[in-house]
Structures are given as structure tokens and as C-alpha cells.
């Protein structure tokens, strides 16, 4: 046990199907300073004394990626906070590229995107902004998100892990409701239904409560679910879809309960959705209150999938630091994929570029890309009354340059020395 910590480390062997033998087991004790992150919850870190490591986890401190350019950007950001605009202007302008194409190195592309976002602040043209999944672009953000699935292996694996928890819970219920927050095009729910069709367990009725702010996404999701069911003759359970349009933080608990209906149990899924929830600057309670309202539905399991980054802070320098660290690693990971050069550029400049421009270049009142570190979500879940779901046997398959760390109720997926995505599986203790 490390000083001030409460987690006992252990070396264990784990099963990992479809993973090369040379990386099936990573035997590394991990010290997590829970008391530092959550001083009010000294026993939270002891919920599970075993952590299971899969893949190539990199430990210890490391230099910041693209460090020379990072120092230039951070210095400019600090001058910007001190209202030294005359000093900042030439520095930021020096990072902008005249042309962006697939041959631009990652460090130059990231510098360009960050500098472009900061330029909005320098010119006092802070964007009012809105959810970038609802804005009209030449290529829609949700369509680019589909492209990410084949370029960033930890992203589809996070869905797969959440699905295993959801399917496990649904098989134990005769009638169930699946509340999917931010359903998008419905691909995740379609996968769940197909897995249940193979082994439904006790399930005989499934009510999908699809919630999304986009009317077109809701229509596509319903059509995809109905098409999937029609191609599964003899499936032993019925599927019905209820559509709820809007933002989850604006739905009253009674309305959600009404749409869930009379079922034996509820499961809730929120994949890459809750970091979009809006709240006033410096409001640290809104998301915890939202989670508490969701806990009121008494879910058998609540799966939460979120990027691991610190973009919900109002301190610009901290957001710049986290952006550089997170997206620098993501850009490098994209380059290891089989995507075409143009697809890689679209992912970096169009999809993630839009996120960076929102994080750094949009008014703090209207920003929608507000990612949080996984430690913050752990604290919020606990304050809201959730408890970790008992461990189940998980199948996790990643390329050998990525890694996964499991503990009860939490799986972290990463690349190099960065945990990029966290998958939480928690439940309401009062659930029957």
C-alpha cells in the first residue's frame, strides 16, 4: 500500500479471449491515491482489492507529447489570462497553418487547432455555440463519430464492455426497460438486441426508451431497431420503442418514470452523452443531482461511458493542458489505424478539431464538450447513491498497443500512458 492510499494491490492472472499470448497478462501493482482525489470517501477505494490489467499499461510519469509546441501554447495561454493580448497575438498567429491536408504532422495540426480556438478569445469573438452534434456541418458530427469506431479501438471496445453488463442484467428480467441516453442512430441498442436474441435468458418483453436531442437521430434509431427485430425471426421477446426528444437534464423524474412504464426492472445506458449536459459556470452539483435523479429509477445496472479528460474546469490553462495531453495521444492512436489518410485527417481536424474549438474557443456559459476525469465521475456516482455492480466475466479484445485495467464497476481503456475512456457499471442498491 502506498502512503496515504487505501487500495491493496495484487498480482492476478486474467482471461482475455482473442488476445495474443504475449500480452494476456500484465502483472503490475497499481497504486491509486484515492484519499487525494476523494478525501470524503476514504473507503471507496476498497470496494475491490483486485485490479485486472490487460494489454500494455504504461506506468510512471512521462514527458508531455509534442512538448516544445505545448510550452509555446501554454505560455501564450497564460499571457492571455493576464490580458497581455499584444504579446499573445504573434505567438498564436505563428502556430496557424496556411493549409491543412493529410500530410501535416500531428504536432503542427494540434497546434493549429488549439491556436485557432484561442484566437476566438483573443479577438473577443467568443462563440455562443450549441451542441456540436446538432449543428449543421458539411459532414455531420454523428457521421464522423461512426468513422471513429474503426480508427480508435478503445472506442468500440467501451461499447462492448457496457453491452456485456447491460445484457447480463436484462437476461435476469422477464420484462425490462432500457433507457438509452443519447441513443444516436441506435447502433448500440441493435447490438444488444441481437445478443439477447441468441440468449434471452428470462426476457420476454423489452421496452427501449430512446432519448436524444435530435429528432432525425431518434427516427433513425427507431427504424434501425425495428429493422433489426424484423430480421430476427422467432426472437422470444417483444421489443417496443418509446421516443423522447430533448436533453436528459431537462426531463423530470416523473416523466422518465412514466415512459419507462410498468416493468420488472430498469437498466440505463449513457455512452458519450453526459459530458454534454449543460450547467452554469462553476456549478459542481448539477451532474451529481442528475445522477441522483437517475438513481431514483432504481436501475439494475447503469452503464456510463465517458472520455477521461479534464475539460469541465473554468480555468483556461487547465483545459489547454488537458486538451493537449488527451488529443495528442488520440491523434497518435489514430495514426496507427487502417483508416485512409483523408479519413485520419477528417477524424483529427473535423471531429476532434470541433471538440477542441468548443472546449477552448466557446464561451464558458455555452460550452458543451465538458469532459471530466474518471475520478470525478466515481465521486458523483457515489454521492448520488450508486454502488459498483458485482464483477462479471468480461471479454476484452484490444490490439497490443492499447491496454485495459479492470476493477469492480470500472474499466479504464488507454493508450501509451493515457487512460482515454472509462466505462462504469453501477447499480442502485434498492433495485429488486
Q: Can you give the pLDDT at residue 74?
A: 84
Residue 45 and residue 60: Cα distance in Å, rounded? 20
Q: Which CATH architecture has domain 154-310+370-390+417-427?
A: 3-Layer(aba) Sandwich (3.40)
Residue 34 and residue 44: Cα distance in Å, rounded? 8
pLDDT class for 123, splitting at 50, 70, 90? low
Q: What number of CA atoms fall less than 13 Å from residue 318's CA on the CB side?
A: 11
Q: Can you give the pLDDT at residue 63?
A: 74
> How much is the mean pLDDT over the chain?
82
> How confident is the model over 330-355, as a mean pLDDT?
92
- Give the tens place of pLDDT for each residue, 273-314: 999 998 887 788 999 999 999 999 999 999 999 999 999 988
Distances (CA, A) of 169 to 302, 387, 392, 412: 10, 15, 11, 21
> How confident is the model over 54-79, as a mean pLDDT?
73
β-bridge pairing 175-181 and 205-212 = parallel
Q: Read off φ and ψ for residue 51, nearest 5 degrees.
A: -120, 135
Q: Can you give the pLDDT at residue 138?
A: 52
Q: Can you give the pLDDT at residue 308?
A: 97
Considering the chain, what percentage of its residues have pLDDT values greater than 70? 80
Q: Can you give the pLDDT at residue 52?
A: 63
The helix (H) or strand (E) run that includes residue 415 is strand 410-415
CA 107 to centroid of chain Cα atoms: 24
Q: Can you give the pLDDT at residue 225?
A: 97
Q: Can you give the pLDDT at residue 10?
A: 35
- Can you list the pairs that 119-122 forms with residues at least 24 positions away whose Cβ atoms lie under 8 Å? 119/92, 119/361, 120/357, 120/361, 120/362, 121/80, 121/316, 121/360, 121/361, 122/80, 122/85, 122/88, 122/89, 122/92
> How confident is the model over 183-209, as a mean pLDDT?
97
Q: What number of CA atoms fall less than 13 Å from residue 141's CA on the CB side?
A: 16
Q: Can you give the pLDDT at residue 139?
A: 55
Q: Can you give the pLDDT at residue 55?
A: 67
> How confident is the model over 253-269, as a mean pLDDT?
96
Contact 402, 55 (CB under 8 A): yes
> How confident is the model over 193-215, as a mean pLDDT?
97
* Domain boundaries defined on the chain: 67-151+312-361, 154-310+370-390+417-427
> How confident is the model over 384-391, as a mean pLDDT?
96
**Has this prediction a pTM greater than 0.85?**
no
Q: Can you give the pLDDT at residue 119?
A: 80
- Position 328 pLDDT exceeds 90: yes
- Give the tens place of pLDDT for each residue, 394-418: 999 999 999 999 999 999 999 999 9
Q: Can you give the pLDDT at residue 368?
A: 85
Q: Can you give the pLDDT at residue 4?
A: 44
Q: Can you give the pLDDT at residue 214?
A: 92
Residue 229 and residue 250: Cα distance in Å, rounded? 31
Amino acid at each position: 500500500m502506498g502512503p496515504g492510499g487505501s487500495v491493496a494491490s495484487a498480482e492476478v492472472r486474467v482471461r482475455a479471449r482473442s488476445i495474443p499470448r504475449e500480452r494476456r497478462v500484465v502483472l503490475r501493482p497499481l497504486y491509486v491515491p484515492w484519499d487525494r482525489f476523494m478525501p470524503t470517501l476514504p473507503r471507496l477505494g476498497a470496494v475491490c482489492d483486485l485490479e485486472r490489467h490487460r494489454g500494455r499499461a504504461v506506468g510512471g510519469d512521462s514527458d508531455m507529447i509534442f512538448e516544445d509546441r505545448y510550452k509555446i501554447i501554454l505560455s501564450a495561454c497564460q499571457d492571455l489570462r493576464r490580458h497581455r493580448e499584444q504579446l499573445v497575438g504573434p505567438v498564436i498567429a505563428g502556430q496557424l497553418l496556411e493549409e491543412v491536408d493529410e500530410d501535416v504532422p500531428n504536432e503542427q495540426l494540434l497546434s493549429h487547432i488549439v491556436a485557432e480556438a484561442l484566437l476566438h478569445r483573443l479577438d473577443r469573438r467568443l462563440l455562443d455555440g450549441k451542441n456540436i452534434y446538432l449543428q449543421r456541418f458539411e459532414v455531420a458530427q454523428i457521421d464522423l463519430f461512426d468513422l471513429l469506431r474503426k480508427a480508435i479501438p478503445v472506442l468500440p471496445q467501451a461499447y462492448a464492455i457496457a453491452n456485456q453488463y447491460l445484457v447480463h442484467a436484462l437476461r435476469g428480467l422477464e420484462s425490462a426497460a432500457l433507457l438509452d441516453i443519447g441513443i444516436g442512430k441506435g447502433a448500440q441498442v441493435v447490438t444488444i438486441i441481437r445478443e439477447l436474441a441468441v440468449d434471452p435468458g428470462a426476457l420476454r418483453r423489452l421496452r427501449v426508451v430512446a432519448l436524444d436531442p435530435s429528432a432525425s437521430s431518434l427516427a433513425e434509431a427507431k427504424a434501425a431497431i425495428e429493422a433489426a427485430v424484423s430480421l430476427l425471426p422467432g426472437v422470444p421477446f417483444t421489443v417496443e420503442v418509446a421516443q423522447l426528444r430533448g436533453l436528459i437534464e431537462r426531463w423530470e423524474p416523473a416523466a422518465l418514470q412514466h415512459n419507462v412504464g410498468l416493468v420488472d426492472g430498469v437498466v440505463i445506458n449513457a455512452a458519450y452523452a453526459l459530458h454534454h449536459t449543460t450547467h452554469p459556470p462553476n456549478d459542481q452539483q448539477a451532474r451529481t443531482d442528475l445522477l441522483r435523479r437517475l438513481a431514483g429509477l432504481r436501475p439494475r445496472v447503469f452503464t456510463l461511458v465517458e472520455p477521461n479528460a479534464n475539460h469541465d474546469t473554468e480555468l483556461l490553462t487547465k483545459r489547454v493542458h488537458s486538451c493537449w495531453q488527451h488529443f495528442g495521444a488520440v491523434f497518435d492512436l489514430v495514426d496507427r489505424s487502417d483508416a485512409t489518410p483523408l479519413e485520419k485527417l477528417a477524424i483529427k481536424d473535423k471531429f476532434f478539431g470541433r471538440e477542441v474549438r468548443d472546449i477552448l474557443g466557446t464561451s464558458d456559459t455555452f460550452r458543451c464538450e465538458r469532459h471530466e476525469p474518471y475520478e470525478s465521475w466515481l465521486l458523483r456516482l457515489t454521492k448520488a447513491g450508486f454502488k459498483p455492480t458485482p464483477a462479471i466475466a468480461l471479454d476484452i479484445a484490444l490490439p497490443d498497443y492499447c491496454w485495459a485495467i479492470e476493477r469492480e464497476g470500472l474499466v479504464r481503456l488507454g493508450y501509451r500512458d493515457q487512460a482515454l475512456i472509462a466505462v462504469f457499471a453501477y447499480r442502485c442498491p434498492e433495485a429488486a
